[in-house]
A and B are shown apart, each in its own frame.
Chain A
Amino acid sequence: MKKFAAWAILLLGVTYFVLPLIGMTEFSLSMRRGEYSFDAYAKVLADPQFRQTFGYSVIMSLMTIAVGVLLVVPTAFWVQLRLPQIRPLIEFITLLPLVIPAIVTVFGYIRLYNTSSWLPLTGSLWGTNFLLLMGYSTLSLPYMYRAVDTGLRAIDVRTLTEAAQSLGAGWVLILARVIMPNVLVAVLSGAFVTFAIVMGEFTMAALLNRPAFGPYLQLMGANKAYEPFALAVIAFAITWACMGLFQLVTRFSKHTKAAG
């Protein structure tokens, strides 16, 4: 009886999750009347705007990951080594982007850095891109920081640092050659989540008027019949790949820890 109920619940749940995925895949394949085809995908892939926005978002994702690594790894390392007493505070700050909705943050950007302000970032293309990059970095901060912090806790930061120092290494060398390789797996897992978030992000890019993948998706949804569903399938595949790799990396890191 209990087992039956458990199966029933699971099957109902799975049905709820699978139907939309089937629905969107089915729609994406039905561009040609009466038979399944990849026409919608061909149309999408041939669209120059798709390539531009997709490329833009890929580049932005990679840059967000770079900013995240450069910002989070040294900070988490320094906190662990020298300022362990303020770790709860830093942790709290890194969780704030989950509390403050993205739409509010970007609203603040637009008002704070507009053309008549002290730092007119939205006045230039370069500045707006930079602002969006910073916005994405705040979004990825909770995930990046937690991943790196967990990675750092698993190694003996103090001993490694002192060993490196006694061999004459400076801070940059310690971070790049000693700490980074040790938390690489953690950084990777943060990077995959960041990639998935940035690729699908809509609000910030739309309000800052940058040609990213998210706003493009929304635009297609409002104007085209079948292409949006092909795009949705592609977006789901990206999310799936990123999160799959994230799980793989996380599991891999557990194995190495057990072995060491």
Chain B
Amino acid sequence: MRRFRPSLTWLGLLPFAAFVILFLFAPTMKIVFGAFQRADGSFTFENIAGLFTPSILSSYWISIKISVASSALGCLVGFLMAAAVILGGLPKGIRSPLLTFSGVASNFAGVPLAFAFLATLGPLGLVTVFLKTQFGINLRAMGFNILSFWGLTITYLFFQIPLMILIITPAIDGLKREWREAAQVLGATGAQYWRMVALPILFPSILGTFALLFANAFGAVATAIALTGSSLNIVPIMLFAQIRGDVLGNPHLGYAMALGMIVVTATANVIYIWLRLRAERWLK
């Protein structure tokens, strides 16, 4: 009887294991292996090599640039907003609504978000029209276009900033009053305290969140498609078109593109987890 107990215990995980294997691992593995196969199933590096063509490389490059820009700005603005509300001496009542709103806004991605920004910064958008009629500033003539690198970056910030606020708020809360007092006793100015005490402590959290935001932006499909259609060649849009209609003319090149996406987001997440573990040492 005793010999059977361990196996029975593991049996309790069967439904979960079956679900995860069938609908998470196996499909991902299919993509990973497919990236190294020819149509007849034989092993090859041709697909990976196929990624290094100008059009695909440039799509990765644009994707990475948008992700870096939107996560860097997201981190900066999110940090400033969180710090302003927590440390800036603002009324206590602001904090809770800000966090609630961040929870909503970080989930308000996808197609509706694209519409919101089209209505604001698009050719006939609220801000575009307002600037034109009130100040004579023509955004279009200045080279701004919502269907562009900066247009997409500004749109992504709508879910990037709130995510930063949500993650960094506990970290800023974790800064102990004693550290500041100790620094002051030793004669540090406010700027010195931030440069030599607070920021080094927060640095792993900030950098880790940056990695998370990066992966978040890199994998965003719906917003990009609804906003730009297919006018901007970023990786998710290209992969979407490839899955729909094999636009690259080689099904296995699609596998390689998807593998590239996994590699990029996985790397970003590993960095996030590693830095988070480091950050937690201080914030207990």
Contacts and interface: CB of A to CB of B under 8 A. Distances in A.
Interface of A: 2-3, 5-7, 9-10, 13, 16-17, 19-24, 26-28, 71-72, 74-75, 78-79, 82-83, 90, 93, 96-112, 134-135, 137-138, 193, 196-197, 200-203, 206-207, 214, 217-218, 221-222, 228-229, 231-232, 235-236, 239-240, 242-244, 246-247
B112 A217 contact: yes
Nearest to A235: B112
Interface in B103-118: 103-105, 107-118
B112 A9 contact: no
Contacts of B87: 6
Contacts of B77: 13, 16
Contact of A214 (B20, B28, B111, B266): B111
Given A10-B94, A221-B115, A71 B16 contact: yes
Interface stretch (B44-52, B136-144, B198-206, B238-246): B238-246
A24 B117 CA distance: 8
Interface string B180-203: 000000000000000000000000
A72 B15 CA distance: 10
A105 B265 contact: no
**Among B77, B87, B114, B116: residue with most chain A CB under 10 A:** B116
User: Chain B contact residues: over half helix, strand or loop, or mixed?
Assistant: helix
Interface of B: 9-10, 12-13, 15-16, 19-20, 22-24, 26-31, 34, 77, 80-81, 84-85, 87-90, 94, 100-101, 103-105, 107-121, 125-127, 157-158, 161, 215, 218-219, 221-222, 225-226, 229, 236, 239-240, 243-244, 254-255, 258, 261-262, 265-266, 269
Contacts of A200: 107-112, 222
A137 B219 CA distance: 18
Contact of A3 (B16, B89, B117): B89
B107 A202 contact: no
A138 B221 contact: no
B85 A17 contact: no
B27 A109 contact: yes
Contacts of A78: 12-13
B119 A13 contact: no
Nearest to B81: A13
Given A105-B28, A110-B243, A23 B127 contact: yes
Interface centre among B80, B88, B112, by most A CB within 10 Å? B112
Given A137-B23, A200-B109, A218 B262 contact: no
